[in-house]
């Protein structure tokens, strides 16, 4: 797991582990010792805040920045053992907690690392483009706060108006209307009507202040620029099989598995172009892209899109029509797990001479994250769908097959 650190801490961080070993040989002194090696490494080369830009309407927007963070960590494991067994007439046994452990993180091993797969990038970008093209006026996120503030403003204003009307209709207060609250307090008026009027005057001021503050808040939200935001994601998994690692001096290292689970996300921010609203309207109706329309007319083209999404890529090509690019980024998160079998191989203390062998199962975890900024609209691209029959697609495929069979003529008369 990546370590937590303050924003400006960009140093490479490491932690060490001490591993003990002991080899016993009857009639001879034990061979024992310890070694220290890096069991954790974390790298975050840079951390910077995005530039704040002003948008039409007076609101501001903080742009995304490039960023990377990687960490490797060796997990806990039991010591490897060998023996007891007989060799050349003597008893041998040994324990090793990782004498060659410096090889675990040597070279910062990764299967995928933070190298973004092109097909996953194409998938996430294409999905994000089509989502932002299909968005309506994005009232949900942008106007939710405005609606709440408007309700607050109208509620307080309505209450204030009702209070004012109630004061005007109270005839017993009319002779005090031309007196301020301070005048009434100085006169020491003790009448019930005067006391009620005094409480009325004092109560109006905070209420009017609330109305004024709600009005200022409403003006601020109403003047903000409406932004469109869309995200597209893609997930990938990879794995590598067994292989021998090394060279090791006192042990045999065998990689048993290496797995990677990654997720890529494309995030886009845009504004509606006031000079080309007609293009966006045509695009939302699906009338702006002749290539997409032509592909839709191809029989069973939607079945091809299950495996190779040609249609979504064609429509994504005109997604930016009627929109102004504000910001965008490609973020990639990858989690990897490497399993290593650590077996003692030190002279007479080896599996070749002592069959009683218990290797150590070492687990190494890797976390990588990267974010790259987009300066303009990204280009869509093709990808191969790794799960073409997800959801109800298998049922649709079966229905299409049955429909095709029903139209075929039987050769039997």
- Residue/partner pairs of 172-180 with CB below 8 Å, 24 or more apart: 172/196, 173/197, 173/200
Given a cut of 50, whether residue 154 has pLDDT beyond it is yes
Q: What is the pLDDT of residues 8-32, one digit of tens each?
A: 888 899 999 999 999 999 989 999 9
- Give the C-alpha separation, 117 to 129, whole Å: 18
Domain boundaries, the chain: 13-46+67-143+226-389, 144-222
pTM of the full predicted structure? 0.69
Q: What is the pLDDT of residues 209-261, one digit of tens each?
A: 555 555 555 454 444 556 788 999 999 999 999 999 978 999 999 999 999 99
Mean pLDDT of all residues belonging to the chain: 76
Given a cut of 90, whether residue 79 has pLDDT beyond it is yes
């Amino acid at each position: 797991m990546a370590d937590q650190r303050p924003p400006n801490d960009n140093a490479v961080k490491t932690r060490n582990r001490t591993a003990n070993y002991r080899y016993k040989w009857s009639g001879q002194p034990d061979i024992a010792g310890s070694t220290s090696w890096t069991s954790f490494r974390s790298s975050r080369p840079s951390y910077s805040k995005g530039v704040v830009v002003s948008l039409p309407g007076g609101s501001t927007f903080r742009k995304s920045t490039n960023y990377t963070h990687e960490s490797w960590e060796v997990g806990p494991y039991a010591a490897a053992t060998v023996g007891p067994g007989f060799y050349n007439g003597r008893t041998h046994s040994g324990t090793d907690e990782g004498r060659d452990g410096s090889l675990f993180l040597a070279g910062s091993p990764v299967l995928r690392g933070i190298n973004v797969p092109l097909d996953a990038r194409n998938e996430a970008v294409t999905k994000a483009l089509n989502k932002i093209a299909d968005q309506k006026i994005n009232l949900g996120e942008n106007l939710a706060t405005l609606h709440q503030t408007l309700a607050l403003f109208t509620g307080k204003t309505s209450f204030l108006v009702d209070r004012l009307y109630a004061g005007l209709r109270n005839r017993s207060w009319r002779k005090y209307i031309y007196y301020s609250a301070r005048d009434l307090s100085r006169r020491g008026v003790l009448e019930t009507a005067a006391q009620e009027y005094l409480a009325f005057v004092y109560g109006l001021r905070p209420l009017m202040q609330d109305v004024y503050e709600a009005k200022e808040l409403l003006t601020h939200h109403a003047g903000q620029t409406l932004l469109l935001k869309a995200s597209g994601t893609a997930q990938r998994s990879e794995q590598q099989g067994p292989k021998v690692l090394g060279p090791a001096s006192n042990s045999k290292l065998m990689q048993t598995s290496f797995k990677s689970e990654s997720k890529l996300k494309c995030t886009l921010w845009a504004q509606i172009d006031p000079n080309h609203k007609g293009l966006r309207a045509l695009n939302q109706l699906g009338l702006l892209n002749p290539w997409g329309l032509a592909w839709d007319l191809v029989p069973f083209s939607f079945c091809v899109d299950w495996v190779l999404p040609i249609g979504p890529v064609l429509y994504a090509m005109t997604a930016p029509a009627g929109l102004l690019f504000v910001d965008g980024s490609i973020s990639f998160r990858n989690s990897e797990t490497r399993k290593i079998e650590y077996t003692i191989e030190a002279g007479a203390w080896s599996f070749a001479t002592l069959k009683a062998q218990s290797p150590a199962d070492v687990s190494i975890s890797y976390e990588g994250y990267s974010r790259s900024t987009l300066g303009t609209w990204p280009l869509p691209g093709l990808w191969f769908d790794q799960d073409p029959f997800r959801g109800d697609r298998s049922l649709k495929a079966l229905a299409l097959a049955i429909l095709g069979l029903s139209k075929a003529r039987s050769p039997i008369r």
